[in-house]
Structure formats: structure tokens, C-alpha cells
Structure 1
Amino acid sequence: MKEYRLFSWNVNGIRAVSGKEVLPGVLFHDFLKTEKPDILCLQETKVDSHTIPSDLTRIPGYFFYLNPAERKGYSGVAMYSRTEPESVEYGGLGKEFDTEGRLITARFPEFTIMNVYFPNGGASDERLAFKLRFYDSFLEKIIKMSAAGERIIFCGDVNTAHTPIDLARPKENEQVSGFMPIEREWIDRVIQAGFFDSFRLFSQEKDQYSWWDYKTRARTRNVGWRIDYFFINEAMKSFITGAGIRQDIMGSDHCPVTLTAAFPE
């Protein structure tokens, strides 16, 4: 069997996390050596090709891909892969969205993986509307890809908790962006379109969160939200062997989420 270990992580600035201890005695630079993921998808990298340190783009044993936002120090996604993809696409949702550097799509023989940093809708009504338009454009794209027979994995910071089990204080946050009914309904539509929240295929546990507010030191009390996901389509489902949340990994206000898959050789 050919096995894949996939990680997805909103690092809240790749330069910021690069000098931090993410596991006891392990800096971010050594994280890839220690954990050895086959693919590591990062969101909110906040760099471009001119501002990212070269040692982060040349980690031995990994190919590196970066899709930055046009705006400096904002948004952006990156991907490390032990295997060179057959193809890599940057963006692809239209000019309105692609300027923010929110999507990398990499195709491998076994599957297509999409690394996505979905917008945050909390800043204003305009940004919430932008987030919902991004949601609709992305869903339209993956429905077409799935109908064409692709085995799809999409991962990243979705910026919405799906159900009350996915955040510590659901009642208090019903009208807060990230848990508003209109945002949660989009995840319902993703599932209705034949996609699966991989973590919930393996666990219905409470208190499983991937983001905690820095300002209130919420992580020490585990007052969090599960807003980072790996979704898979029906064609991919039979190859998934596990999914998890790595709350032991520090360095950001998010922790990584994981997916494992195995394919006959």
C-alpha cells in the first residue's frame, strides 16, 4: 500500500512560527523532519516570494509551492510535498478572489488536494458577503471536479464551525461570524453535494478544537472552535484511514489537523 500523511495548519504567519518551538525541543524548521508529513498545507502565510526566508523554501526532501496575496503581509497559502505533483494550480476562482492568494490545487496520481484559506467574515458586512461569495464559487468548482471523477481532498481554515459540538460556547456565538446560520448552512450544502467532514467519520467527541483566541488565553482553558478541516468526496472516502487534530503542536492560534490515506500499489 502507498500511504499518505497529510497535515493542514493555519500558521498565522510563516515567518512568525518559523522561530517558535512547536513541539518540545522542536522548532518549525525541524517539524517536517520530526513529523515527516507527505504533504503539509499551510494557510495565512503572510509572505511572498521576496519576503519568505529562503531556508523555508528549501527544506531537504520537499517541494515547495506558495500562492501569496497581492496585499503585503496578508493571507496566502503554501504547500510542502515529498512528491512532485503532476500539476499545480494557483487560484482558479476568479479575479475577485485570486488576488488574495487563498487556494493551491495540486494533482497527484491518487488524488487532487486543494489547500484553501477561506475568508473571515467578522470584520464587516462587506467581508461577510465576500466570504459567502467565495464559499459559493469554491463549492461550484469542487462539484464540477467531483462530477468529472476526481478524488478530491480539500483542507484548510474554513473559518466556520459546523455544529454546536464544534465550539465551546455555541449559544453565545450564534450571531458571530464563524457560527452564523448562513455560514453553517454552506457546510450543510458541501455535505449534501457528496463531501464528508473526515474528522467526524472517526470521532464524535466534544472539546475537539483547532483554534483558540490568543487575547483571552483560551487555549489553556480549551475554550475553542473547530474551524480547520479535511473534507473528502465519495470517490476518496474508501481510501481514508484516519483523521485527527494535533492539539499538542503549538506556535499559532490554530493547531494542525491531519488525514491519512492508503492506496493499493
Structure 2
Amino acid sequence: MKIISYNVNGIRSACSKNFLGWLQATNADMVCLQEVKALPDQLGEIIGLIEQMGYHHYWHPAEKKGYSGVALLTKVKPKHVETGCGEEWIDREGRILRADFEGFSLMSLYMPSGSSGEERQVKKYEFMHFFSQYISMLREQIPNLIISGDYNICHTAMDIHNPKSNANSSGFLPAEREWMQVFLDNGFIDTFRHFNKDPHHYTWWSFRANSRAKNLGWRIDYQLASLPLLDRLKQVRILPDAVHSDHCPVLLELH
């Protein structure tokens, strides 16, 4: 089973760069999208083509047009889909969408960025605190959980091209990195690092200074799997050749 997570930075923009052709060629079983920046009723032809590929599709857009929003595409019909998390401000921003299947559940997550200023950094910390508690309670009912998405956090110095100059940058702050470590220690596997311990693997590059061509990036997109799924992990790859966004996809394969 192939599961892709991809922050498309606007699905309409990504489709103008042949995202749908790429998606068809990739033939993933399940796809978690973040930052779709669109309402489903704005995507008529795009949704039609997604359906032609055999995907069931579920959307959780933000109330604010052209902002945030997550989606989940799956060729396996879910037993249940949970839109949002019940926390009003988070659900208004369209950040959490979960589908339950036989054997595991899959969540598409788009964590807030704090890079625009102190006010959003405070909201990011508020989200992180809520999310830890939310997932702890959820795992009592759903022990087999994959959380795929844009966490907007580089976990370690290996996950960012210049840790020294970014020591005070949102996304690499000590409190954010510590939160990620605690989250993993509470029963999750960073599936990419489970298979690959090498540096210089990134999932996001600034549009500035030719950063992508120079591979001056950040690894902020993850496929985290709860510990009971360890034996089902087959391989994980970052796919930097997919260039529909300033992010690239992360592909997880399960046995």
C-alpha cells in the first residue's frame, strides 16, 4: 500500500503544473494533501479527474478563502471520515482530517506556521499543546494511526540546511524541536528516519535564492506512524523531483 503526503501550496496552482498527471502516474492508494487553498465547489474539473482515477475524496477547507485546508484521496473507501478535531479555531482553519480503514487510520495534518510573527507563533504553540492531548486520547480508541502532513517543524539539526543561522527561526525553535521529540517518544515513529539516517534530505525549499536547486531546504513534512504499525513499514522516500509546490511529497509504503 502506497501513501503519499504532499503540501501542494494551492491545489489549483499545483494542477497548472501537471499535478494530476503526476498523481495518476504515481498511482498511490491514499494521498494526504495540505494547504489546498480551495473549496471543493471551486474545483469542478479537478474533482472530476480525481474521481476518474478511482479516488474517493474528502475535503476540509478553511473558512478563509485561499488559505490552509486539507484533503484526503483514497482508492479504498473508508469506514468513517472525521472532519476536524472539535476545537473551533483549528477547525475554522481546516487543519485536521482523518479517515478510518480496516487495520489503521490515516490523518492529513497541516500544523500552523509561526513564521509570520509572534501572534501566529503563539497560536502554533497552542495548536501543538492541544494536538498532543488530542492524539493521546484518540490513540486509546485508534492505536494504529498514521499522521501524514506538514508539521512546520524541523526535528533535528540534520533536518535543516543551516541549523546555526536558523537557531531562532520559527520551525526550528528549541521548544518546537522538544515538542516533536516528546511526541515521538510518546509512541510514534518518524518513518523516514527509521529507514534513512543521512543528512541533506528536505521537503521544503524557499522560493528565494535558488534554494531548491542548491538543496538549501528544511524537512518539515512527515509520515509519523504509531508504534504498533512498525512491522508494516516497508519503505519511505522523499520525492524531490515532484515540483508542483515549494514542498515535495513523502511516500510511505506499507506491507
Q: Normalised by the shorter chain, which TM-score bucket?
A: over 0.9
Partners in 1 of 2:133 and 2:45 — Cα distance?
36
Structure 2: which amino acid aligns with 1:143?
S
Structure 2: which amino acid aligns with 1:18?
C
Which residue matches 1:195? Answer: 188
What displacement does 1:217 show? 1.8
Structure 1: which amino acid aligns with 2:171?
G
What displacement does 1:31 show? 2.0
2:29 to 38, 50, 62: 38
What displacement does 1:57 show? 4.8
Please show how residues 74-113 of structure 1 align to structure 2 within 5 Å. 74-113=67-106
Structure 2: which amino acid aligns with 1:9?
Y
Structure 1 segments of 4 or more deviating over 4 A? none
Which residue matches 1:24? Answer: none
- Counterpart of 1:7 in 2: which secondary structure? strand
Determine if contact 1:115/1:154 at 8 Å carries over to the other structure: yes
2:171 to 161, 174, 178: 178
Give aligned pairs, total.
Answer: 253
Please show how residues 6-155 of structure 1 align to structure 2 within 5 Å. 6-20=3-17, 27-59=18-50, 60=52, 61-155=54-148
- Counterpart of 1:238 in 2: which secondary structure? helix
RMSD (CA atoms) = 1.2
1:223 to 216, 227, 232: 216
- Does 2:233 correspond to 1:253? no
Partners in 2 of 1:57 and 1:76 — Cα distance?
19
- Counterpart of 2:235 in 1: which secondary structure? strand
User: How does the TM-score come out when normalised to structure 1?
Assistant: 0.93
What displacement does 1:94 show? 0.6
Partners in 1 of 2:30 and 2:167 — Cα distance?
34
Determine if contact 1:151/1:235 at 8 Å carries over to the other structure: yes
Q: Which runs of 5+ in 2 are unaligned?
A: none
* Gap change, CA 1:149 and 1:112, over 3 Å in 2: closer
Task: Report which of the two has the higher share of helix.
Answer: 2
Percent identical among aligned pairs is 38
Structure 1: which amino acid aligns with 2:44?
P
Determine if contact 2:105/2:142 at 8 Å carries over to the other structure: no
User: How does the TM-score come out when normalised to structure 2?
Assistant: 0.96
What displacement does 1:150 show? 2.2
Partners in 2 of 1:54 and 1:84 — Cα distance?
22
What displacement does 1:14 show? 0.2
